């Protein structure tokens, strides 16, 4: 009984742990002579990658182009990178910064899309960007680091609580805040390390060929589902153009001239439609998870509810019947497995990264979530004895009909989950 209490406590901790996921992106900027080029790798598994163009609304503003893949409302996406008519470029990267207990400084940001868009529509230099941002409490972007680069090659790194101005000819940034990150720690990010080493061993230039090679060196292609770098955008601040490379394929590019696109009026373009068929992306696009298929998330909730209710009924039936047909130890094991699976279904419904990273999944900060990744293996190991037990109880005249029905339905859910876990690659041998 004590061990069961410990199990329940462990599960409670697992399902209530605060979760925070970090994705990965990278960028670089190169300045040679009077030309600055900025490369951005957006590493994600979304299938809604877009590029859009917005004209200036008055003579004091600039038209701009943006890329992004995270939809925030109908036909509106969060900017991931972009450039305006003055040659000001920005890139957004996920990064960790510990929350500070300080009073908010400046105006509140109520709409991230409007805020980020307005910076490119109203600023032309990093000094103007700093002046604009200092009006706001930008600490709401606690999970982001931004970088702005103007046509002179100067850059501004925007952390939740810090603004850093620099003018290095070459600069590489990934998922960390420079003000609080030692170089040794930053080098643990392979995409960042690869970019730095590439620039150490090559004479930097701003040709498209060199910039593409650098972006390729920094790109990611993970083992699961071929996912990784969704979009590479290379922004030319002198010619006001951008070259796009889709889904880490660097043999095909599409170029847009900012002036030409703005002359067409405000418009948005679906990036996958611009490129040849990509088998890896097609596989990703048809891959179903609870995060791109709402019915699956509902199903996880329903199955978790059934498993929990089944565990409760098994205990009730045992104490009501006072029967030795099923021992208390067996009831405890089945009920414990049900509660354990319910907790794991909660983890699956709240952690999208599990579906894309190698199994067993390792959470970056929660050892409990990492430990939960072994639950599918536990289910696989127990399915044979559980099925055998269920069949014996089904054939036994000493087992009541309602108990038989409960055991059969419970076993069918186990089998359904094994198939689902296999489809999602949660068994490493199936990756």
Question: Residues 224-241: pLDDT tens digits?
Answer: 766 689 999 999 999 999
Classified as helix, coil or strand, 269 is strand
Q: What is the pLDDT of residue 138?
A: 92
For residues 308 and 339, is the Cβ–Cβ distance under 8 A? yes
Structure-token pair, residue 348: 């699956």
Q: Which two tokens stand for residue 152?
A: 């002179």
> Given this model, what pLDDT does residue 288 score?
94
Q: How would you classify residue 392: left for phi > 0, otherwise alpha for psi between -120 and 50, otherwise beta? A: alpha
pLDDT at 383: 95
Q: What is the pLDDT of residues 23-51, one digit of tens each?
A: 579 999 999 999 999 999 999 888 999 99
Q: Determine the Cα–Cα distance for residues 113 and 23; give it in Å rounded to an integer.
A: 19
Q: Provide the sign of the torsion angle of the four alpha carbons 65, 105, 156, 60, taken in this order.
A: positive
Residue 227's pLDDT is what?
A: 66
Residue 279 sits at φ, ψ, to 5 deg, of: -60, -35
pTM to 2 decimals? 0.84
- Structure confidence at residue 430 (pLDDT): 44
The CA-based angle 182-186-189, given to 5 degrees, is 165
Q: Are 256 and 65 in contact, with CB atoms under 8 Å apart?
A: yes
Q: What is the pLDDT along the chain (431 residues), one digit of tens a residue?
A: 444 444 444 443 433 333 334 457 999 999 999 999 999 999 988 899 999 999 999 999 999 999 999 999 888 999 999 999 999 999 999 998 888 877 778 899 999 999 999 999 999 999 999 999 999 999 999 999 999 999 999 999 999 999 999 999 999 999 999 999 999 999 999 999 999 999 999 999 999 999 999 999 999 887 776 668 999 999 999 999 999 999 999 999 999 999 999 999 999 999 999 999 888 899 888 999 999 899 999 999 999 999 999 989 888 877 776 555 678 888 889 999 999 999 999 999 999 889 988 888 888 778 999 999 999 999 999 999 999 999 998 888 888 888 888 899 999 999 999 999 999 999 875 44
- Cβ atoms within 10 A of the Cβ of 18, count? 6
């Amino acid at each position: 009984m004590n061990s069961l209490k410990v199990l329940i406590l462990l599960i409670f901790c697992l399902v209530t742990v605060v979760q925070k996921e970090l994705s990965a992106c990278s960028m670089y900027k190169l300045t040679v002579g009077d030309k600055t080029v900025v490369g951005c790798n957006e590493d994600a598994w979304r299938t809604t990658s877009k590029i859009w163009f917005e004209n200036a609304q008055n003579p004091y503003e600039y038209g701009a182009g943006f890329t992004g893949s995270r939809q925030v409302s109908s036909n509106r996406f969060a900017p991931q990178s972009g450039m305006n008519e003055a040659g000001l470029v920005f890139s957004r990267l996920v990064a960790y910064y510990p929350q500070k207990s300080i009073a908010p400084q400046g105006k509140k940001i109520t709409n991230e899309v409007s805020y980020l868009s307005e910076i490119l529509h109203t600023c032309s230099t990093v000094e103007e960007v700093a002046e604009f941002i200092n009006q706001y409490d930008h600490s709401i972007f606690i999970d982001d680091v931004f970088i702005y680069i103007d046509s002179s090659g100067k850059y501004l790194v925007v952390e939740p609580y810090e603004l850093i101005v620099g003018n290095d000819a070459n600069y590489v940034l990934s998922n960390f805040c420079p003000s609080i990150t030692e170089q040794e720690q930053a080098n643990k990010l392979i995409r960042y390390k690869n970019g730095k080493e590439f620039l150490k061993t090559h004479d930097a230039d701003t040709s498209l060929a060199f910039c593409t090679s650098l972006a390729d060196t920094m790109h990611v292609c993970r083992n699961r589902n071929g996912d990784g770098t969704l979009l590479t955008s290379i922004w030319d601040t002198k010619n006001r153009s951008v070259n796009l490379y889709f889904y880490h394929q660097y043999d095909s590019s599409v170029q847009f001239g900012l002036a030409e696109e703005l002359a067409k009026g405000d418009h948005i373009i679906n990036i996958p439609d611009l490129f040849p068929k990509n088998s890896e992306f097609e596989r990703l696009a048809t891959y179903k998870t609870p995060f791109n298929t709402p019915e699956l998330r509902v199903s996880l909730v329903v199955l978790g509810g059934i498993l929990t209710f089944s565990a409760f009924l098994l205990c009730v039936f045992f104490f009501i019947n006072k029967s030795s047909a099923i021992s208390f130890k067996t009831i405890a094991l089945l009920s414990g497995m049900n509660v354990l699976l319910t907790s794991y279904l909660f983890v699956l419904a709240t952690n999208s990264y599990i579906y894309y990273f190698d199994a067993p999944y390792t959470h970056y900060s929660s050892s409990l979530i990492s430990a939960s990744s072994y639950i599918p293996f536990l289910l696989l190991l127990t399915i044979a004895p559980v099925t055998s037990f269920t069949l014996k109880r089904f054939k036994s005249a000493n087992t009541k009909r309602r108990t038989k029905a409960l055991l059969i339905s419970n076993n069918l859910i186990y089998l359904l989950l094994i198939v689902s876990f296999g489809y999602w690659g949660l068994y490493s041998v199936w990756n």
